[in-house]
Amino acid sequence: MGLHFIRPDTKIDFVGFRYVAYCVSAALILLGLVSLVVKGGPRYGIDFAGGIVVQVKFEQKTDMTQVRQALEDQNLPGLVIQQIGAPEDSEYLVRTSSSEISSEDVRTSVSQALEQKLPQAKGDIRRLEMVGPKVGADLRSKALEAMYYAILLIAIYISGRFEQRWTAAGIMAGGLFLGISALQFLGLSTSWLIVAAMVITLGLCLYLRLTYALGAVVALIHDVLITVGIFSLLDKEFDLTVIAALLTIIGYSLNDTIIVFDRIRETLRYGKGGNFGQIINDSVNQTLSRTILTSGLTMIVVVCLYLLGGSVIHDFALALMVGIFVGTYSSIFVASPILLHFRRNASDEVPAKA
Instruction: State the Cα–Cα distance between residues 135 and 139, nearest whole angstrom.
Output: 6
**Res. 151: pLDDT tops 50:** yes
Supply φ then ψ for residue 84, to 5 degrees: -125, 145
Q: Is residue 2 situated within a structural domain? A: no
> Which of 108, 131, 154 is the endpoint of a domain?
131
H helical segments located in the chain:
18-38, 46-49, 64-71, 103-117, 133-163, 166-184, 190-207, 211-233, 240-270, 276-308, 314-330, 336-342
77-107 pLDDT, tens digit each: 777 787 777 777 788 888 877 666 777 778 8
Same domain, 39 and 68: no
211-239 pLDDT, tens digit each: 888 888 899 899 999 999 999 999 888 88
Same domain, 188 and 203: yes
Same domain, 123 and 152: no
**pLDDT, position 193:** 76
Q: Is residue 6 situated within a structural domain? A: no
Are the CB atoms for 133 and 50 separated by under 8 Å? yes
**pLDDT, position 1:** 43
Count structural domains, the chain.
2
- What is the span of the domain harbouring residue 218? 15-44+135-350
The residue-averaged pLDDT of 305-314 equals 81
Instruction: State the Cα–Cα distance between residues 38 and 26, nearest whole angstrom.
Output: 18
**pLDDT, position 149:** 79
pLDDT category of residue 319 using cuts at 50, 70 and 90: very high
Q: Is residue 7 situated within a structural domain? A: no
- Using DSSP's 3-state secondary structure scheme, residue 23 falls into helix
DSSP 126: E
CATH number at residue 82: 3.30.70.3400
Q: What is the mean pLDDT of the chain?
A: 81
Q: Is residue 239 situated within a structural domain? A: yes
Q: What percent of the chain has pLDDT over 90?
A: 16
**Res. 278: pLDDT tops 50:** yes
Same domain, 82 and 140: no
Same domain, 279 and 336: yes
CATH number at residue 39: 1.20.1640.10
Same domain, 90 and 157: no
Q: How far apart are the first and last CA of the chain?
A: 25
Q: Is residue 184 situated within a structural domain? A: yes
pTM attached to this predicted model: 0.80
> Which of 131, 158, 193 is the endpoint of a domain?
131
